[in-house]
């Protein structure tokens, strides 16, 4: 169950010294020629590795991904870009690839320069450690405040999709800090991977929130090498699409469940909106509302906060459409509002999570989101992040 589950992929994770202990430098590589794609953060304050990886994708098909934890290499100026380029160049040398075939990803403290004196020597060790069983080490090496590694696999009729991700805080992707690498031995032609990836990301990584913070480094990479030998058809393309979406959804769900300080999750479903974009705006607003999230932490079924958030969802210079007299809201499987009328019931929020189902009854728009609660520990973890 790892990023090397698909045929023709190897990975490694080594300790470069960027963190006090544990692996902190990972490589994922296709051993046969691959095609690939990536989606990046929409944050205007983009990290140096995002800038460099975008450049490389314009020039070549990616064959390997280098990821470090301990430093985001963001807000580091021109020197940060030079450091990212140096990392890619050394990785290309030890892997015998063109520098443009290397993507570089970083995660950690913003504003902290990448320690090249530690990264560059460790790249050879990481390259020498590459193996088909190295996926677990790679997944461990990319973590920051995560409490555990995040991996997922889905199998098709004759192919495999595998992936790893990291993310726990600063999670509100707008393509969480969030990084993901997904690999497959399904055959894809140049430029095809992007469309498959975009669709999968929109309904998974782009539909989650832990704290409403859009990272400077968010990146999702897809590598496809065709090593399975699968003969493509409309049916196999559909099966691959399903598997890719399943892996992305699994990894995204693991990120939310492992949100910094998280004790409870909520699956938000909005239907009956004036349009899909408005439904998405409303689902996003509920998912990021501090009042909703703190109520979830207290296991308080304060459904009025859900409706207040829904009615104040920014959209197109104003708020998304909502008719108070038409809304129906189910919380934790209990109908608390029906056609605008409160039902005088009190749901119990128990276990690890609940559902929030909102029907606006004014159109055909729908969307979903996954969020976590906001706890005391979230504040503590982020207050102590650099200490």
In terms of residues, how long is the chain? 387
Spatial CA neighbour of 223 closest among 58, 33, 18, 48 = 33
State how far the Cα of 142 lies from the Cα of 167, in Å rounded to an integer. 9
Task: Specify the pTM.
Answer: 0.88
Question: Active site residue: 4, 41, 177, 371, which one?
Answer: 177
Residue 206 pLDDT exceeds 90: no
Strand order in the sheet with 150-155: 35-40, 219-224, 179-184, 160-166, 150-155
The pLDDT value given to residue 185: 98
The pLDDT value given to residue 365: 98
DSSP string, 170-234: S--------EEEEEE-S---TTHHHHHHHHHHHTTGGGEESSSPPPSS-EEEEEE--TT-PPP-H
State how far the Cα of 267 lies from the Cα of 55, in Å rounded to an integer. 36
Q: What is the pLDDT of residues 166-199, one digit of tens each?
A: 987 655 656 545 799 999 999 999 889 999 999 9
Longest CA span, the chain: 68
Q: Is 177 a catalytic residue?
A: yes
Spatial CA neighbour of 300 closest among 331, 259, 276 = 331
List residues bridging with 358 in a β-sheet. 270, 329
State how far the Cα of 160 lies from the Cα of 34, in Å rounded to an integer. 15
Residue 212 pLDDT exceeds 60: yes
Q: What is the pLDDT of residues 320-374, one digit of tens each?
A: 999 999 999 999 999 999 999 999 999 999 999 999 999 999 999 999 999 999 9
The pLDDT value given to residue 47: 94
> Do 266 and 253 meet the contact criterion of CB atoms below 8 Å apart?
no
State the CB neighbour count (10 A cutoff) for residue 210: 31
The pLDDT value given to residue 161: 98
Q: Which residue has the higher pLDDT, 243 or 217?
A: 243
- DSSP single-letter state for residue 71: B
Residue 260 pLDDT exceeds 60: yes
Please list the alpha-helical segments (H only) found in 12-59: 48-59
Choice among 50-59, 125-134, 193-202, 257-266 with the minimum mean pLDDT: 257-266
The pLDDT value given to residue 170: 56
> Do 105 and 53 meet the contact criterion of CB atoms below 8 Å apart?
yes
Q: Which residue has the higher pLDDT, 311 or 387?
A: 311
Q: What is the pLDDT of residues 27-66, one digit of tens each?
A: 999 999 999 999 998 888 899 999 999 999 999 999 999 9
Distances (CA, A) of 30 to 101, 157, 282, 326: 11, 21, 40, 53
| Mean pLDDT, rounded, of the chain | 93
The pLDDT value given to residue 45: 87
* Cβ burial, residue 173 (10 Å; 0-12/13-18/19+): buried
The pLDDT value given to residue 176: 41
Q: Which residue has the higher pLDDT, 218 or 173?
A: 218
Spatial CA neighbour of 160 closest among 66, 246, 220, 233 = 246
> Do 42 and 178 meet the contact criterion of CB atoms below 8 Å apart?
no
Q: Which domains does the chain have, with CATH numbers?
A: 9-257 (3.60.70.12), 265-383 (3.10.20.340)
């Amino acid at each position: 169950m790892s990023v090397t589950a698909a045929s023709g992929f190897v990975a490694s994770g080594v300790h470069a010294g960027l963190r006090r202990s544990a692996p902190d430098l990972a490589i994922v590589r296709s051993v046969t020629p691959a095609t690939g794609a990536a989606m990046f953060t929409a944050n205007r304050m983009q990290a140096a590795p995002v800038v460099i990886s975008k450049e490389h994708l314009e020039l070549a098909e990616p064959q390997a991904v280098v990821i470090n934890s301990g430093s985001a290499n963001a807000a580091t100026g021109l020197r940060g870009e030079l450091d990212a380029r140096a990392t890619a160049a050394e990785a290309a040398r030890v892997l015998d690839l063109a520098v443009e075939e290397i993507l570089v990803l970083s995660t950690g403290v913003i504003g902290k320069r990448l320690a090249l004196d530690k990264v560059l020597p460790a790249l050879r060790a990481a390259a020498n450690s590459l193996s088909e069983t190295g996926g677990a080490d790679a997944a461990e090496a990319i973590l920051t405040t995560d409490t555990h590694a995040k991996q997922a696999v889905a199998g098709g009729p004759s192919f495999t999709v595998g992936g790893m991700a990291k993310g726990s805080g600063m999670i509100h992707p707008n393509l969480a800090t969030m990084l993901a690498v997904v690999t497959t031995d399904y055959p894809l032609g140049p430029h095809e991977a992007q469309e498959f990836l975009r669709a999968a990301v929109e309904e998974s990584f782009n539909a989650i929130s832990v704290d409403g913070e859009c990272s400077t480094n968010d990146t999702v990479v897809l590598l496809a090498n065709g090593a399975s030998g699968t003969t493509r058809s409309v049916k196999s393309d559909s099966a691959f699409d399903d598997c890719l979406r399943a892996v992305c959804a699994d990894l995204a769900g693991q990120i939310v469940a492992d949100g910094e300080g998280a004790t409870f999750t909520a699956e938000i479903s909005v239907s009956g909106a004036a349009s899909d974009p408005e439904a998405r705006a409303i689902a996003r607003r509920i998912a990021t509302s501090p009042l909703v999230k703190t109520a979830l932490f207290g296991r308080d079924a304060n459904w009025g906060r859900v409706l207040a958030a829904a009615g104040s969802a920014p959209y197109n210079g104003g708020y998304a459409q909502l008719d108070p007299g038409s809304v129906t809201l189910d919380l934790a499987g209990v109908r608390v509002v029906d056609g605008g009328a409160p039902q005088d019931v009190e749901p119990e929020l128990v276990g690890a999570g609940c559902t929030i189902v909102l029907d606006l009854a004014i159109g055909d728009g729908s969307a979903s989101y996954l969020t976590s609660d906001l706890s005391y520990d979230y504040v503590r973890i982020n207050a102590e992040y650099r200490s």
